[in-house]
Every structure is written in C-alpha cells, then in structure tokens.
Structure 1
Amino acid sequence: MVQDKAKEQQTLSKPDNEQPKLSKDKEKAIVRKEGFDYFPVTFQLTKTQKFGLGITDYKNMVIVNKVEENSMVAGELKVLDLIVDINGVPVSDKDICKTLIIKTLQNNKTVDLVIGRPVTESAKQTMENALESSQVQPPSVEVASDVRDIMCRFQTKILDQSNATKGILINEKTNPVGNVRITEENPKTAKIGNDCKGVALQKVPRPTESKKAVEKK
C-alpha cells in the first residue's frame, strides 16, 4: 500500500534532476543520509488551493505520507520525502513541524522547506519500511499543550528573531489560514492521564491511618 502511494506520486512531482540546489548555508546545516537528494522548496499561500500535506514521524524523521492532488504541495513533494528543515530550523517531530508550517504561513504567507528525497532503491526501501513501521508503532504520549507551547515558542524564536509572536499553538476558530491543514495518516496518540489503550487511569485512594498501621506490622 505504501509502495502504491509512492508510485502514484511519481507522475505528480518534478523529476529529481530538475530540483534546485541548496545554498551553502543550508548545505552546512543539514546532515545528509546516504541515497538521498536534498533540495529547497518554497510554498506561497493562496486562497484557491488547500495545502494538501499529510505527515507522520518515525525515529526523529518527519515523513510525507500523503500529497493531495491539486494542492499547494502537489508537484513539489512526494510520499516518502523527509521534511528536514523549516526556514532554517531543523525538525524531527510531526506536531512541531505542522505548527511551524502553519504559523509561518500565517505570519509571512510563504514558508521555505528543505526536503530529503530517497533516490536509490535502498533509500526508498528504507523509507517504505519506516512509513510502514510508523503505522504500527506503539502510541506516543501526547505532549501537554503547555509543554508543546514552550517547545514551539523556542523553535519559532530561532526561526525569526525579528518577529515577535503572540503564541504558537493554533486555535482553529481564529485561524485565518483556513485552507492550510496538515493531516496525519493513522494517528496514534495517548493523552497523558490515559494508558496506552486510551483508557482513563483510575485514581489510587490514599491509605488511611489504620491501613498504614497494618502495613507497618
């Protein structure tokens, strides 16, 4: 199924040899993986197109797992691509990646990404395995909103020191960029306060004085 998605995107994207090259500064900032090509891509916000990107993460890699037709990212990104960097900030977590893209588009109407694309058969197979594994890996613990807020504020500060931000978490009710939505295929998260199956944890009653006395004996 992953292979079918990847093959489907081949006809929707630019040939790999037509991709622009990284600047020297961006080249120094990334850690290359063997079998991957790296290139920059800029997306400009439009009112007529949805963003159309689906992402997941696995072992500190943000992986593209969906590219919708007739979207902003169609023709530029492919399933199995890695999102390595957003406006000079390295990313390895899908939630922070998603928030930074949306926030940057809200503020600047454009966003610059560095993409790592598997080009050898070995690299493609590695990414297919990673994408398959991301769908069956144990649920990750969802970071509390205040913790994620701190993480995203820190990365946004690095992203643009000159632009003051009022907050990084997106409120869908007030989000002016309604057509920018980044989805997660087969999301698996467990909120803190739940066990790994999503079942609410039971509170343990505090021991009474009589019970404490019995336990001491």
Structure 2
Amino acid sequence: MAQSPEGGDGEMTVCIDMEEGDPLGATPNDKLVIVKVQSGTVSEGHLKVGDQVKKVNDVPVKGQDDFFKALRYAHPQARITIIRDAAKAAEVTSRVHIPQEPESLIKRRDGFTYVLVRLDYAKGSKLGLGIKHFQNRVLVKTVEDNTLASGKFVVGDHIVDIDGVPVTDKEVAKKLMIEEIKKKGWFSCVVERPDNMETKMWVQKALQSEPNQPPSVKLNEDVIAIMKRMREYNKTARAPAKPILTQTSGAKKAQVQITEQLLVHDIGHDHVGHALRRVKN
C-alpha cells in the first residue's frame, strides 16, 4: 500500500508501491512542481498539485529527466521526498484549473498541460512578451526577464485564447491583449504548454521555422487545379477597349457619366471553357 503524510506543510516523504513499468500518474513542470495528478493512478491521494519534488529514493533530482529516470528503477516502492506548501499549492491549482467557458475552447492533447494565465498591467512596466504565428497557433517566442510576462509565460507556450476569444493569428492576439489592458487593466488566457521531451522538441522546431515556409494545410487537388486554370486564363485576359465610366473635363466640376455603349467583359470562374448556365429569375 502507498503511504502518504497526513496534512501539514514542509518537507516530507511519500512512499508509493509500484510495479515495474507502472506510470506514476503525476506530471511535474520544469521546476519539478507537480501540475497534474491523474485519477486512478498510484499517485492519486498521495501526491498533490503544488508539491515540489526534491528526491526519489533518497537520490536528489534536479530536473524532469532525473526524476523520470529515477522512477524507472524505483519499484517495488518509490520514496518521493517533496516540499508541500499550501499557499503554493493554491496558486498552482488556480492556474491549472480552467473555468468551464474557456475549457470548451480546448482540444486537449497528450504531452501538454493546460494553464490559465492572468497578466495584470502595472504602469511603467514592460510587457516583455514576444509571440510568433505558426500553423494557426500563436506561440510564445520570447519572455524577457523582470517584465510583466516573466513568471507567467514560458517560451513555447501556445496561447489558445484571450479572455475567451480564440486566437490563431499573432496580430489579432496583440490587438486583443492591448484592448483588454486598456479596458480593464488585465487579460487572461489559456496556454497549452509542452510537458514531455517529444512535444518540447516539436515546439522548438516550430519556433525555429521560417515565416515563409509552405502552408501547414495542404490544398485539395481540385482547388489546386482551379487555381492553375485561373492563372493560365488571366494571362490571356484583355481589358475592355473603352471603359464604361468616362470623365468629362472643362470649366465645370468634373462629372462621371455612363456611356450608352454596351461592352462585354468575361467574369473569371471555375468553369472556364464552358458556357455559364441560365438560371430562372
């Protein structure tokens, strides 16, 4: 049976029985603070959101790699030394808990955690947030130290929304941030944050990608064919010999007149080479 301390704060050790290959079911962030505990796993009821991991089986761990490597050899029992702080736990829980309305905007994916971030504006302070557009996502590219964004955002965060409005374009995101700060002095957003090596590598490649790379969504073959035909058609299209609108000149103010001459002008469409069908009025 797993053992865990009864309440209290401070440093403590949680003992959890594990079979070889059992998933712990608890996810730490880069600072080894637990941000998610999955129900039905061996960690449920023993580790809590906000716990900061210091050791596994008395061996200090300095990062996620150390932590998961130590767990691989921890069976039959993992003794996890943690620092438990109720205030820190409340802060982390409030950030990880996402209200129902923005939650509906999220399509949760394996390998990511989801955090609610609130940024309050302080007069004279710098925002310090750089964002980038990639594959219909707004990604955090830079976070400057000692700015409003530091401690709130992490490089690689995917900004899902701004105050409940979904964002897929960086210019739209910037505009919404500025509008909300001017209106009420703060804005909130849900961020999708990579929490394993695979997703972190994907985000790193996304941040290094060039802005003029090919579209992330491939066009259908029929759309490509239509575009090709229209390009060829436009090469041979001729402008009308005489414009329908003519302008008179003289002492009086220039006026626009419509001539009586009837002109024919082809309208581009996706049915090039065939006559348009008549329709009933």
TM-score bin, normalised by smaller chain: 0.5 to 0.7
Aligned with 1:127: secondary structure? helix
Whether contact under 8 Å (1:49, 1:72) holds in the other structure is yes
Q: Whole-Å Cα distance in 2 between the matches of residues 207 and 25 of structure 1? A: 55
Q: Whole-Å Cα distance in 2 between the matches of residues 16 and 58 of structure 1? A: 29
TM-score by length of 1: 0.55
Distance 1:82 1:46, change over 3 A: same
Alignment partner of 1:30 is 2:106: yes
Alpha-carbon offset, residue 81 of structure 1 = 0.7
Counterpart of 1:69 in structure 2 is 145
Q: Whole-Å Cα distance in 2 between the matches of residues 84 and 114 of structure 1? A: 5
Whether contact under 8 Å (1:63, 1:83) holds in the other structure is yes
Counterpart of 2:178 in structure 1 is 102
Equivalence map 1:37-116=2 (5 Å): 37-116=113-192
The runs of at least 4 aligned residues of structure 1 exceeding 4 Å deviation read 205-209
Alpha-carbon displacement from aligned partner over 1:145-198 (angstroms, at most 9, x marks no partner): xxxxxxxxxxxxxxxxxxxxxxxxxxxxxxxxxxxxxxxxxxxxxxxxxxxxxx
Whether contact under 8 Å (2:118, 2:152) holds in the other structure is no
Q: Whole-Å Cα distance in 2 between the matches of residues 16 and 106 of structure 1? A: 35
Counterpart of 2:86 in structure 1 is none
Counterpart of 2:27 in structure 1 is none
- Comparing both structures, which one devotes a greater share of its residues to helix? 1
TM-score by length of 2: 0.43
Aligned with 2:193: secondary structure? strand
Aligned with 1:29: secondary structure? coil
Counterpart of 2:39 in structure 1 is none
**Identical positions, percent:** 35
Alpha-carbon offset, residue 207 of structure 1 = 8.5
Q: CA RMSD in A?
A: 2.6
Counterpart of 2:200 in structure 1 is 124
Alpha-carbon displacement from aligned partner over 1:68-120 (angstroms, at most 9, x marks no partner): 11100101111111101110111110110111101111111110111111001
**Aligned residue type for 1:46:** A
- Comparing both structures, which one devotes a greater share of its residues to strand? 2
Q: Whole-Å Cα distance in 2 between the matches of residues 15 and 67 of structure 1? A: 20
Larger relative contact order (CA 8 Å, sep ≥ 6)? 1
Alpha-carbon displacement from aligned partner over 1:194-213 (angstroms, at most 9, x marks no partner): xxxxxxxxxxx96879xxxx
Alpha-carbon offset, residue 31 of structure 1 = 1.1
Alpha-carbon offset, residue 30 of structure 1 = 1.1
Whether contact under 8 Å (1:80, 1:117) holds in the other structure is yes
Whether contact under 8 Å (1:58, 1:134) holds in the other structure is no
Counterpart of 2:59 in structure 1 is none
Uncovered stretches (5+) of structure 2, i.e. residues with no partner:
1-29, 36-49, 51-91, 216-237, 243-281
Alpha-carbon offset, residue 47 of structure 1 = 1.1
Q: Whole-Å Cα distance in 1 between the matches of residues 173 and 120 of structure 2? A: 17
Uncovered stretches (5+) of structure 1, i.e. residues with no partner:
1-9, 140-204, 210-217
Whether contact under 8 Å (1:56, 1:134) holds in the other structure is no
Q: Whole-Å Cα distance in 2 between the matches of residues 206 and 36 of structure 1? A: 55
Alpha-carbon offset, residue 33 of structure 1 = 2.4
Structure exhibiting the larger radius of gyration computed from Cα positions: 2
Q: Whole-Å Cα distance in 2 between the matches of residues 128 and 136 of structure 1? A: 17
